[in-house]
């Protein structure tokens, strides 16, 4: 598939005239990252941003003593690293491939030049950044205003949107990663999953979680209920 068609298929660039898509194709570079490989690290100078063509990427920070907080786990066809392009400067967090991950790379300077000529593109980016802000806001809310069982309940309900009946979640990440995404550690996650099973809120085997009591999880997320 040629570059222009790929770009036209990315939601972020939806609705752009094909002339703009060609212009984007002109600056985009295909790159391949393998599992575990780093796109950039916190503090690196921001050269541009990426769009995932396939695979999974985590955005995270490490504390000095090694604890990891994952901010997002992103999949096809989501972009990442955009914010740093407009704030100038450097990346505020690190990005690493969780699998084989082909991406498109857009150099910041050239991309900004394109935006200068195309307000529709600018509005797409504004929408994207706003969504990111919203997601981060709920992450802060989770970390600060909910305890771990509440966070987990909210996470499970969120993952479930769509797969209505039966509400089954295929874990696409390891429980280690999931713990880090929830701002906790694997041991705690494991214990809380067990407590949820004890109370018949969920059923879990190694790779899937089934929601048995949606209402119960919602109450937990809202802090109206506590685990025994």
Stretch that binds a copy of itself, among 6-14, 62-70, 160-168, 194-202 (CB under 8 A): 62-70
Position 112 contacts a copy of itself (CB under 8 A): yes
Q: Between residue 92 and residue 111, which ones bind a copy of itself under the rule CB under 8 A?
A: 92-93
Site string for DNA, 71-100 (x = CB under 7 A): ------------------------------
Q: How many residues bind DNA (CB under 7 A)?
A: 22
Chosen residue from 118, 172, 199, 213 binding a copy of itself by CB under 8 A = 118
Chosen residue from 69, 99, 210, 214 binding a copy of itself by CB under 8 A = 69
**Encoding tokens for residue 11?**
């939601």
Find which of DNA, a copy of itself, none residue 147 binds, CB within 5 to 8 Å per kind.
DNA
Dmax over Cα atoms in the chain, in whole Å?
A: 60
Geometric angle at alpha carbon 60, from 28 and 129, rounded to 5°: 55
**Encoding tokens for residue 80?**
């990442």
Find which of DNA, a copy of itself, none residue 189 binds, CB within 5 to 8 Å per kind.
DNA
Position 149 contacts DNA (CB under 7 A): yes
Chosen residue from 55, 108, 167, 183 binding a copy of itself by CB under 8 A = 183
Find which of DNA, a copy of itself, none residue 188 binds, CB within 5 to 8 Å per kind.
DNA
Is the peptide bond preceding residue 183 cis, with omega within 30 degrees of 0?
no
Q: Between residue 172 and residue 191, which ones bind DNA under the rule CB under 7 A?
A: 174-176, 183-191
Chosen residue from 71, 73, 101, 201 binding a copy of itself by CB under 8 A = 71
Chosen residue from 136, 176, 190, 198 binding a copy of itself by CB under 8 A = 136
């Amino acid at each position: 598939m040629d570059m222009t068609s790929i770009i036209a298929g990315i939601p972020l660039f939806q609705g752009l005239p094909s002339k703009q898509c060609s212009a984007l194709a002109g600056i985009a570079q295909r790159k391949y990252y393998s599992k575990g490989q780093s796109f950039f690290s916190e503090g690196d100078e921001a050269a541009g941003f990426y769009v995932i063509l396939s695979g999974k990427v985590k955005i995270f920070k490490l504390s000095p003593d090694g604890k990891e907080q994952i901010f997002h786990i992103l999949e096809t066809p989501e972009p990442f690293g955009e914010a740093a392009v407009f704030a100038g400067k450097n990346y505020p967090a690190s990005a690493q491939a969780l699998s084989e991950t082909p991406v498109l790379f857009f150099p910041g300077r050239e991309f900004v030049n394109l935006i200068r000529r195309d307000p529709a593109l600018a509005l797409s980016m504004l929408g994207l950044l706003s969504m990111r802000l919203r997601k981060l806001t709920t992450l802060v809310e989770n970390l600060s205003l909910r305890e771990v069982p509440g966070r987990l309940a909210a996470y499970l309900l969120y993952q479930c949107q769509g797969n209505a009946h039966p509400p089954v979640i295929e874990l696409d990440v390891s429980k280690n990663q999931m713990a880090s995404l929830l701002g906790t550690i694997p041991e705690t996650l494991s214990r809380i999953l067990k407590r949820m099973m004890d109370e018949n809120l969920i059923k879990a085997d190694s790779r899937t979680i089934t929601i048995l009591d949606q209402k119960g999880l919602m109450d937990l997320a809202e802090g109206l209920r506590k685990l025994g």
